[in-house]
Amino acid sequence: MNCVFFSAGSVATMVLLGALGGIVRGLVGILKLFEQKQPGEKFRLGYFLFSVFVAAVVGGFAGALSGGDWKVAGLAGYAGTDFLENLYKIKAIQGTRAQGKA
């Protein structure tokens, strides 16, 4: 039985590989969290699942735009999540500084 939904180069495959890249990135983040445990810092399952969802979307788009290249989808899921997380941290720090000046 041949499954067209998850065939090579399909959007579903790109989304799945993007999610896989996000899961790998998330696991790296979890390892860092436990390695550099700060007081009051804890694992947030909701945040992890949301970042995997975002990675799936980013990987799906990147894979589709690259003509179904599975390597691009996985890498985009990994790097895209990392990029968005760091962008969020930068904006949060800028917001905190702006509130402190007011």
Judge whether 54 lies within some domain: yes
Spell out the residues 6+ positions from residue 84 whose beta carbon is closer than 8 angstroms to its own. Answer: 51, 54, 58
Three-state secondary structure call for residue 15: helix
Residue 8 lies in a domain: no
How does pLDDT run across 22-51, given as a tens digit for each residue? 888 888 888 888 888 777 778 888 888 888
Tally of structural domains, the chain: 1
pLDDT digits (tens, 9 = 90+) for 51-100: 888 888 888 888 888 888 888 888 888 888 778 778 878 888 887 776 76
Domain that holds residue 74: 18-35+42-101
